[in-house]
Structure 1
Amino acid sequence: MTLIIGEISYTNILPTFYYLDREKLNDLDCRFVPQIPAELNRGMAIGAVDVGGISSFAYGENFDRYTLLPNLSVSAYSRVGSLFLFSKIPIEELNGKSIALTSSSATTVHLLKIILERFYEFSVQYKVMKPDFESMLENHDACLLIGDDAIKTVWNKSDQYYMYDIGQLWYDHTGLPMTFAVFAVRNEVLQTEPEKLSVLYQQLINSKMKSIDLRFQPMIKDIKNNFGGTQAFWEQYFQGLSYDLNDQMLQGLNYYYQLAYELGYLKKKVQTISLWSAFDHCHSM
C-alpha cells in the first residue's frame, strides 16, 4: 500500500521536510502531496492523505480518527511572523466591522475569531476569500493572511496598514504558546503501515534536528533564492518558531480546543490528544 504524505506548501514547515531522504521513502512506496493546509485537511478527512502536516483545528475536528506524531509541530511561544491581521483601523475599533478571512487554512481563522469574540468581546462580520490582499480589503475593514501570503504582504504593505501578529495576540491574552500545525496520521494507517510510518517519523525528526543544528542556514539560502527576503528576516523568522510538541504546547492547544468548542466552532469537545509511539503505539495526553 502506498503511504500518502501531506506536505504543507508553506515555508514555515520546511525544516521538517528539508533533509528527508525522499529517494529512500519513495523506495518504500511513500508519495508526497504538497498542498496548502486547507487542501490537506480535506484530503485527510476523506482518506486521500494518510499522514502529514495539517491544521491544528482539523485535528480538533477529527481527534477521535487521527493520532499525532510526537515532538513535531509548527508552534510559536508568541510572535509568529507569518500570521497577520491587516487592518485599516486599530483592532480596538473593529467591533461591528467586517473582516475577510483567508481560505487557505482553518487554525488561524478560528484563532482570530476566538480572540476577537472571547478576549475583545467583539461581534464582527466575516467573509472567507481567496488570499488576495487587494481584493480582500476592497470591501472589508481588515483581512487575515497566513503563511507565505502574509510574509509577502508584510514586505510590501507593512507601512500602510495596522498589522497584528495572531500568535502574539494569543500569547498576550493567555500566556500560552500556540500550535498552528500538527503532524497527524489516520488511525487505520497505524495498523496497516507501522514500518513505513516509523521510517517516516524518524526522518521527520532527523530533518527537524539537522535544520536546528545548522541554524537553518542551507535552507535559508535556498529560500532566499526561490522566494526572496533577507538573511536577517529569515533567521529571525525561524528562530521565532518551534517544531516541538511539548507539554506547554499541548496545554495551549487544549485551551484553544476548549474555547473553540465553547464558542461553537468545534462540534465535539476534544477529550484527548493522542500521541503515537513506535514502541507502544500511542498514549494520550
Structure 2
Amino acid sequence: MNGLSNGMKITARIGMVNYINTAPLYEVWRQSVRRADWRITEAPPSVLNRMLHENELDLGFVSSQEYALHPGEYRIMSDLSISSTGPVGSVFLFSELPIAGLDEQLVLLSPQSQTSVSLVKIILEEFHQVHPRYRSGLASELGQDAERPAAVLAIGDEALRLAVEARYPHRLDLGEAWQERTGLPFVFAVWAVRENFCREEPDTVFAIYQELHRCLREGKARLPEISAIVAKRVPMDEAACYRYLQRIEYDLGNEKQEALRRFFEYLIKRGEVPASALPLKVCGKQ
C-alpha cells in the first residue's frame, strides 16, 4: 500500500489486483505513477469487492459479479477489463475426473473471485447438467483431515502454479468453455467506480482513467521485459509467461459489454444478482 509522507489529503482510494494478469498495467503504474494523494490497496478480487462495497475504496479492479450484485452503487469505467476471447490460462477447474463424472462429487471453489465461482457453476450446472457438492477453499491449504475434492477451481497465480505442476489429469479453462457455448469473450474483472465518487469527482476519475490507459499502452509495448520480471513469482518459464500475458485482454468494447450482459442474464436467472444489474452503467466523461 502506498502511504502519504507529507500529510497531503488523499483524493482517491484505488484497489489493485496484483496477480500476474495485471502486470502489463500495474508494473508500469508502480514504476511511473507518482501521486501521493492516490492511495493504492493491493488485494485479491474478493477483498477489493468487499472494500469497495463498504466504501473503503473509491474505485478498483473488482470481480464482474461485484458490479452486478450492487448495480446501484457503481459505474463501470469504460474500456478497461480483465478478459479473454477463448482460453484465459489462469482460471481453471482442475479435476481428477472428466466433467461428466463430477455429479455429486466435491468441488473446491477458490474464495478469491466470486465471478469465477459463479462461472464454474454455470458451466457445470447449465452447460453440462452436472451438480456437484461445493466447498470454499484454496487448493494450497487443503488439510490432511479434509475430504479430498474431486476437482478444484483455481484462479490467478495459484492456477498458473497448478498448471505448471500438472498434478490433475483433467483441466477446464473457464474462458474457453464459456466461448464454446456462447460464442462470446468472458469478462472476469472490471474497473468499478463508486456512484457518488464518479458524480462528485469526475476530473479525478478521468485523470486515473488516463493514467491506467497510459500504463497499459506502455506495458503492452514492454511485454517481454515485464514477463521476465513476473514469471519468477509462479515460478514459470519466461516464454510461457509471455504467451500467457499475450492472451489476456484489457478492453471493454461492444462485444465484451455484450458478454457481460449475457453473464448477468445467467446470474439474474439463477437468482444470484438483482434484475437491476442490467442495463450496464458506464462512468465518466471519457
Q: Provide the aligned C-alpha RMSD in A.
A: 1.9
**Which of 50, 65, 77 matches 1:42?**
50
Question: Which stretch of the first structure deviates more once superposed, 78-87 or 94-103?
Answer: 94-103
Given residue 231 of structure 1, which amino acid in structure 2 is its aligned partner? E
Question: Which stretch of the first structure deviates more once superposed, 117-126 or 15-24?
Answer: 15-24
After superposition, residues 68-83 of structure 1 pair within 5 angstroms as 68-83=76-91
Q: What displacement does 1:20 show?
A: 2.2
Residue 195 (structure 1) aligns with: 203
Name the SS for the 1:239 alignment partner.
Answer: helix
Distance in structure 1 (CA, Å) of the matches to 2:26 and 2:207: 13
1:222-268 C-alpha deviation (Å, 9 max, x unpaired) = 11344431122112101111100011111111100000110122233
Count residues with an aligned counterpart: 276
**Which of 137, 151, 154 matches 2:160?**
151
Indicate conservation of the 8 Å contact 1:66/1:186, yes or no.
yes
Q: What displacement does 1:21 show?
A: 6.5
Residue 136 (structure 2) aligns with: 128
Residues 118, 228 of structure 1: alpha-carbon distance in 2 compared, 3 angstrom cutoff = same
**Which of 221, 224, 237 matches 2:244?**
237
Residue 15 (structure 2) aligns with: 6
Distance in structure 2 (CA, Å) of the matches to 1:57 and 1:124: 21
Name the SS for the 1:26 alignment partner.
Answer: coil
Query: Which sections of structure 2, spanning at least 5 residues, go unmatched?
Result: 1-8
Given residue 94 of structure 1, which amino acid in structure 2 is its aligned partner? L
Distance in structure 2 (CA, Å) of the matches to 1:20 and 1:139: 40
Indicate conservation of the 8 Å contact 2:107/2:134, yes or no.
yes
Residue 107 (structure 1) aligns with: 115
Indicate conservation of the 8 Å contact 1:25/1:200, yes or no.
no
Q: What displacement does 1:275 show?
A: 1.3
Query: Which sections of structure 1, spanning at least 5 residues, go unmatched?
Result: 280-285
Distance in structure 2 (CA, Å) of the matches to 1:225 and 1:120: 36
Indicate conservation of the 8 Å contact 1:99/1:127, yes or no.
yes
1:125-156 C-alpha deviation (Å, 9 max, x unpaired) = 11111342654984221110000011011111
Name the SS for the 1:17 alignment partner.
Answer: helix
- Scaled by the length of structure 2, what TM-score is found? 0.90
Residues 86, 138 of structure 1: alpha-carbon distance in 2 compared, 3 angstrom cutoff = farther
Name the SS for the 2:277 alignment partner.
Answer: coil
Runs (4 or more) in structure 1 with deviation over 6 Å come to none
**Which of 61, 75, 78 matches 1:67?**
75
Residues 248, 133 of structure 1: alpha-carbon distance in 2 compared, 3 angstrom cutoff = farther
Q: What displacement does 1:159 show?
A: 4.9
Q: Percent sequence identity over matched residues? A: 27
1:65-86 C-alpha deviation (Å, 9 max, x unpaired) = 1111111100000101101111
Residues 58, 277 of structure 1: alpha-carbon distance in 2 compared, 3 angstrom cutoff = same
Task: Determine if the alignment matches structure 1 residue 259 to structure 2 residue 269.
Answer: no
Distance in structure 2 (CA, Å) of the matches to 1:74 and 1:44: 18
Question: Which stretch of the first structure deviates more once superposed, 62-71 or 42-51?
Answer: 62-71
